[in-house]
Structures are given as C-alpha cells and as structure tokens.
C-alpha cells in the first residue's frame, strides 16, 4: 500500500496507539511515526522496542509538522492535551482520537483546535485487557469496526483520507452522530463492563469470606467477566464519568430486566425463562454471523495452561 500520511503523531502509547504504529508500519501507511507519552517510563519502553520512528519528551514536539495527530489518552485527559498541542498544529492537519466516549471528547477538544485544523473524532471497537506500549499488535483492528463521529462542518476530503487509513489497517468504518454513538456504546460496551466489574467485586468479597473456591473453580462465564474487569482502570473510570447519562439509562433498563428474571425464578416460571433465554441466544448468533466473534467451542480458547508442579 502507499503512504496516506507523511507524518503521524501518536499522543499516548498504549494498546491502541501501539497497534496503530504496528499496523501502519506493516502496511507502509505513514512516512514517519512520532510518539509521545506522559510517563517517562512509557517513553523509554517505546524507544527500547522501536515502537515509533521517534519518541519525543513533549506532546508539542510530537505534533510539529504532523499531518495526522491521534489522541490516544484517557478521555479525562483529552482537554488538557488538546490545549497543549493546539498552538503547535500545522494548518491542514487532521486530529482524531480513539476514546470510547465521543460527545465529551468533542466538548473538551474542539475549543482548543485552531481554524484550519480538521477534527474528526473516532473510536476503534477493538481492544484487549492488556495495556501499555508492549501490548499492541498489527492485527488488532482486522475486521473490527472503527466508528467516526465527524462534526457538522468536518471536511469531506479529510474524513475520506482518515477512513482510507482506518480501512488500510484492516478495520471497517461507519459514521454516526456523537450522541447516538454514546448511547450505542453504553449498551454494547460501557454497561457490560460495569456489570463485569461488579460481578468480579462480588466474587472477590465472597472469596475473602469463604476461602479460595471462587478463584480455583471459576467457570467460563466468570473467567470472561474477569477478563473484562482486568481492563485499564483509568480509561474506564473516565468512560463512566463522561458518559454518565447514557450509562445510567442502560443500567436502569438492566435493573428492570433483572427484576423480571428474579420474579420468574422466584415463581418457578420456567416458560418465561426459556423464552427469554431463547431471544437472547439469537443475539449471540447475530454477532457470529456479523463476523465479530468466533463460534469455536469455548470462545476459541486453546486450553488452560498446565497446573504448576508441586
């Protein structure tokens, strides 16, 4: 493939930015990749592993003469980073982000960007429970959705160019209004994460008062909860604080559904439970048919590691 952006600046060097660096380098999509992270330790690690062509000690230096700037920091830090880099962005540059919340990011970032700079918020629906500069890999975005939430006055050519980059990294793209994005993600990501955190918290409390059985005898469902609940705590704290209304709306609906199931169990209403589980099972089939997961047994796990020797 050919170069799409001559210079790309990655602000924040965690899983998403690292995966972008690997994907862009593998496909030859960027002439130069420059990176910056707030932590000196992260910057040093990124230099050691050759994550970027250059790693700078300031965000301002990273964005100098960059054609594309990617804000890959927690949602709560977006505004401060935008204020820092705003005066140093070159005219015609595109700024995007990878945050899980969009309206709050737009409100925090847009006021700090100068005229002539194209702001196109984005969100790759891809990730793992791992974080840091060593966590990224080139295929993270393959066959995953990367949602863009352009502003009403966003430049069509700039949107198209960013879309070309995203697709060249293996992702599928779609565009939607920021508010609608935040509601959809509250259903598909934010509320499920909070439920997982809660269930693991309950289990941790039970383990503390009942011994180690919860850990030793974890079934597949609980193991999946722990994987989700192992996600970056700073990122998810900011997600819930900045998508408060949509998340609380979905949690309210979840509570209502939970009460319905509680009553069916209490009343021994097996038919209602069967009908409910049949409907929800169809959602899983739809996700597999859309190519967003595998139907391999046990979610494609290759098996647990062998038990340690005594």
Quote the pTM value: 0.81
Q: For 217-260, how does the pLDDT look when each residue is reduced to its tens digit (9 = 90+)? A: 666 778 788 878 888 888 889 989 998 999 999 999 999 999 99
Q: What is the pLDDT of residue 307?
A: 43
The more confidently predicted of residues 277 and 224 is 277
Tokens of 240: 């819930």
Alpha helices for 89-190 (secondary structure H): 103-109, 156-168, 178-185
Domain ranges of the chain: 5-176, 180-292
For the ranges 76-85, 113-122, 197-206, 235-244, the lowest mean pLDDT is seen at 197-206
Please give the Cα distance from 155 to 174 (Å, whole number): 16
Spatial contact of 66 and 91, defined as CB atoms under 8 Å apart: no
Q: Which CATH superfamily is domain 180-292 in?
A: 6-phosphogluconate dehydrogenase C-terminal like domain (1.10.3660.10)
Q: For 203-213, how does the pLDDT look when each residue is reduced to its tens digit (9 = 90+)? A: 877 777 676 77
The more confidently predicted of residues 156 and 306 is 156
Is residue 299 scored above 80 in pLDDT?
Answer: no
| First-to-final CA distance of the chain | 53
Q: What is the pLDDT of residue 284?
A: 80
Q: Which CATH superfamily is domain 5-176 in?
A: NAD(P)-binding Rossmann-like Domain (3.40.50.720)
């Amino acid at each position: 493939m050919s170069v799409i952006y001559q210079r790309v600046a990655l602000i924040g060097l965690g899983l998403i930015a690292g995966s972008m660096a690997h994907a862009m380098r593998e496909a030859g999509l960027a002439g130069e990749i420059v990176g910056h992270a707030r932590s000196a330790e992260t910057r040093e690690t990124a230099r050691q592993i050759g994550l970027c062509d250059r790693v700078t000690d300031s965000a301002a230096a990273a964005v100098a003469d960059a054609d594309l700037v990617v804000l890959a920091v927690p949602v709560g830090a977006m505004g401060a980073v935008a204020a820092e880099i705003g005066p140093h962005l070159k005219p015609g540059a595109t700024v995007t982000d990878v945050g899980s919340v969009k309206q709050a990011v737009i409100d925090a970032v847009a006021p700090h960007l100068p005229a002539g700079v194209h702001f196109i918020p984005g969100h790759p629906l891809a990730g793992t429970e791992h974080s840091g500069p060593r966590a990224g890999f080139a295929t993270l975005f393959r066959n995953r959705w990367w949602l863009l939430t352009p502003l009403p006055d966003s430049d069509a050519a700039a949107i198209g160019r960013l879309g070309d980059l995203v697709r060249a990294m293996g992702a599928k793209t779609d565009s939607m209004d920021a508010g609608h994005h935040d509601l959809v993600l509250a259903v598909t990501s934010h509320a499920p994460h909070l439920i997982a955190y809660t269930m693991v918290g309950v289990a941790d409390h039970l383990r503390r008062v009942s011994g180690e059985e919860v850990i030793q005898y974890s079934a597949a469902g609980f193991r999946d909860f722990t994987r989700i609940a192992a996600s970056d705590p700073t990122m998810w704290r900011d997600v819930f604080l900045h998508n408060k209304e949509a998340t609380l709306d979905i949690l309210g609906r979840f509570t209502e559904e939970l009460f319905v199931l509680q009553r069916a169990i209490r009343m021994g209403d097996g038919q209602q439970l069967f009908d409910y589980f049949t409907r929800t099972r169809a959602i899983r089939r739809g996700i597999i048919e859309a190519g967003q997961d595998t139907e391999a047994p046990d979610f494609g796990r290759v098996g647990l590691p062998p038990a340690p020797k005594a």
